[in-house]
Amino acid sequence: MKLIDEFRNKDIAQGLIQRIHQTCTRPVQLMEVCGTHTVSFFRYGIREMLPKHIRLLSGPGCPVCVTPNEDIDFAIALSRQKDTVIATFGDMMRVPGSTSSFQKEKAEGGDIRIIYSPLEALKIARENPHKKVMFFAIGFETTSPTIAVALLRAHRENIRNLYFLNSQKQVPPTIRVLLQSQKVGIDGFILPGHVSTILGNDPFQFISEEFSRPAVITGFEPLDILQGILMLIEQIEAKRAAIEIQYTRVVHERGNPVALGKIAEAFETDGASWRGLGWIPDSGYRFRPPFDRLNARNLDVEVEPSFEHPECLCGEILQGIKIPLECRLFRKICHPENPIGPCMVSMEGTCSTYLKYA
């Protein structure tokens, strides 16, 4: 298949749905660890097509949502410094920190600019030599190679007024924490196609080897998703646990060695703080020593104590423990015009997806 329409073919979809119904004989809970999958499940009505005893859980798959308040508050504190420009991805603009957001800071005169590629931060820095430019570097393994390239280039060009506020995350250690915590029963994982394009399937092998759970790296079109779910159900019914790749037209077992090489050149693995999940060892990056002068966390900035809205359930939603409909604020007080938590802001956020489609 080559054209996008072919991955939405109704007859093939019906055949796959029928096979899922025939194959699945018992209740199962499957977790997707990618916000794009969450959106696709709703957009294409996949939840309604599946047997009632297959439950889909959303995991920590939205990079904006998993960014903890302390990092957002730090970025906001940076934006209040004199002669400072913040360069950020657009999704972050409206995400509330403890007491403010980039949108509010911009309305009050902060110089906050939306960028679409990390390399744009370099351009802003070159064009504003008398200002400090802070790039809020968030994202999973999909984004990290371009952040790494931007960091390496800024170092090579000796750009002195550019800093990176690093809040990048690595997905596999988080899956380990979810399995270890046993807060929610997960029978299998629908693994993220984008992240796996970079990583390949090797970093996910522990899911089957240590936890005896199956997982399938899955694409994002309806037929991809249905086939991925069928592959998972077949493994569960056969009591097998392997890391399979459904998204073979994009994902290779070894991932993307060039992209991985750039990440390794710029960063070392380090722990990272996640919303709802806390500090997870080896789930983030730190700068390699030659690049530490570009680290915004080295700057002396006063940051107010961080806190989250006591009724926001984003932390539990990101672990699959709760769904947005269980949040008292959902739709009534928290909505896209007045987001209380990040899950209502990001296009990949579970709350915003529920509001749009559920």
The CB-of-147 to ligand SF4 minimum distance in angstroms stands at 26
C-beta of 313: minimal distance to ligand SF4 in Å? 4
Minimum distance of ligand SF4 from residue 150's CB (angstroms): 30
Which structure tokens are listed for 105? 């800071």
Pick between residue 143 and residue 350 the one whose CB is nearest to ligand SF4: 350
Q: Cα–Cα distance between 302 and 23 in angstroms, integer?
A: 57
In the three-class reduction of DSSP (H, G, I as helix; E, B as strand; rest coil), residue 135 is classed as strand
Hunting for tokens 């997982």 — which residue is that?
215
Site string for ligand SF4, 182-211 (x = CB under 6 A): ------------------------------
Nearest to ligand SF4 of 147, 329 (CB atom)? 329
DSSP H or E run through 138: strand 132-139
What's the rounded Cα separation, in Å, for the pair 91 and 342? 9
Considering the complex, what minimum distance in angstroms separates the CB of residue 192 from ligand SF4?
21
Largest CA distance in the chain: 66
Comparing CB distances to ligand SF4, the nearer of 54 and 312 is 312
* CB 68 to ligand SF4: min, Å: 14
CA atoms within 13 A on the CB side of 304: 12
User: Going residue by residue from 263 to 302, which x/- string records binding to ligand SF4, judged by CB under 6 A?
Assistant: ----------------------------------------
The tokens of 268 are what? 């070392």
Residues 296-335 that bind ligand SF4 (CB under 6 A): 312-314, 317, 324, 327, 329-330, 334
- Separation CA 292–CA 264 (nearest Å): 15
Of the candidate residues 50, 92, 272, 344, the single one contacting ligand SF4 (CB under 6 A):
344
Q: How far apart are CA 92 and CA 257, in angstroms?
A: 29
Residue 180 vs 338, nearer CB to ligand SF4: 338
Report how far residue 194's alpha carbon sits from residue 224's, in angstroms, rounded to the nearest whole number.
13
Distance in angstroms (rounded) separating the CA atoms of residues 330 and 343: 11
Measured from the CB of residue 328, what is the shortest distance to ligand SF4 in angstroms? 8
> Minimum CB separation from ligand SF4 for residue 109, in Å?
27
Instruction: Give the nearer residue to ligand SF4 in terms of CB position, either 97 or 193.
Output: 97
- Residue 175 is a binding residue for ligand SF4 (CB under 6 A): no
Q: How far apart are CA 69 and CA 285, in angstroms?
A: 18
Q: What CA–CA distances, in Å, run from 342 to 153, 272, 275?
A: 31, 18, 10
Among 46, 171, 251, 343, binds ligand SF4 (CB under 6 A): 343
Binding mask 91-130 for ligand SF4 (x = CB under 6 A): ----------------------------------------
Residues sharing a CB contact under 8 Å with residue 2, sequence separation 6 or more, in sequence order: none
Closest approach, Cβ 182 to ligand SF4, in A, equals: 22
Cβ neighbours of residue 78 under 8 Å, at least 6 residues apart? 84, 86, 134, 165, 296, 299, 301
- Among the listed ranges 21-29, 47-55, 70-78, 341-349, the one in contact with ligand SF4 (CB under 6 A) is 341-349
Q: Are strands 243-245 and 215-218 parallel, antiparallel or unpaired?
A: parallel
Q: Which residues bind ligand SF4 (CB under 6 A)?
A: 312-314, 317, 324, 327, 329-330, 334, 340-341, 343-344, 351
